[in-house]
Chains A and B, each alone.
Chain A
Amino acid sequence: KNEVEQSPQNLTAQEGEFITINCSYSVGISALHWLQQHPGGGIVSLFMLSSGKKKHGRLIATINIQEKHSSLHITASHPRDSAVYICAVDPWGTGNQFYFGTGTSLTVIP
């Protein structure tokens, strides 16, 4: 059983499209993270959420704690957004475990 589920696994979009990636989790959490991993392998933290909504440029992340669900939105997608997007959760902030989703591979076509 995977504590964190992401969908879709793969996503191809045309440049300019609005993109949504979903994350559902089954444990109580203190925070949820959205990470971006480019083909070269480097990982960048995009957002850390414990409630509500955060926006950074064309990226928006939302979380619904009651429904145990988060979404990552990309507006006006661009080929440079092509990457793997990973959802991860801190279960109750213990630091003893850190659960990852399997990632969503996004390809944005010019």
Chain B
Amino acid sequence: GAGVSQSPSNKVTEKGKDVELRCDPISGHTALYWYRQSLGQGLEFLIYFQGNSAPDKSGLPSDRFSAERTGGSVSTLTIQRTQQEDSAVYLCASSLAGVAETQYFGPGTRLLVL
């Protein structure tokens, strides 16, 4: 595709429900990143995939968060039993081959947990 796409663009959910966020990276990009930006806060790194594997998941805020990537392309970020503090914009980015490269950002998914 022309750029990184994310879906949904907006998601409102009730506390305790599970949500799944999707990221479609630029075709051919092997590296994929998930970030979070809470209201009025800076960007926070969540996880990085090289191909289908994520070498380190320690950036995920809690064990309610999980991420996977299949086929070296689409990635999903799943938040189980959502809490109000999970409300944020979740951003995905991709780069051609890995770290120390220009990243291309998606438009983000705005998540609101009521």
Contacts and interface: CB of A to CB of B under 8 A. Distances in A.
Interface of A: 30-31, 33, 35, 41-45, 48, 50, 86, 88, 90, 93-103
B66 interface: no
A31 B95 CA distance: 14
B101 A48 contact: yes
Nearest to B110: A41
A41 B108 contact: yes
B99 A94 contact: yes
B58 interface: yes
A31 B100 contact: yes
B56 interface: yes
Contact of B99 (A30, A101, A102, A103): A30
B18 to A, nearest CB: 24
Contacts of B102: 33, 45, 48
Contact of B98 (A88, A95, A96): A95
Contacts, number: 64
A30 B89 CA distance: 27
Contacts of A48: 100-102
B48 interface: yes
A103 B98 contact: no
A48 to B, nearest CB: 5
B72 interface: no
B31 A95 contact: yes
Given A95-B31, A98-B48, A86 B100 contact: no
A96 B48 contact: yes
B31 A101 contact: no
Q: Which of A30, A41, A93 has the largest count of B CB atoms less than 10 A from its CB?
A: A41
Interface string B75-100: 00000000000000101010000111
Contact of B42 (A44, A86, A95, A97): A86
Interface in B46-65: 48, 50, 55-56, 58-59
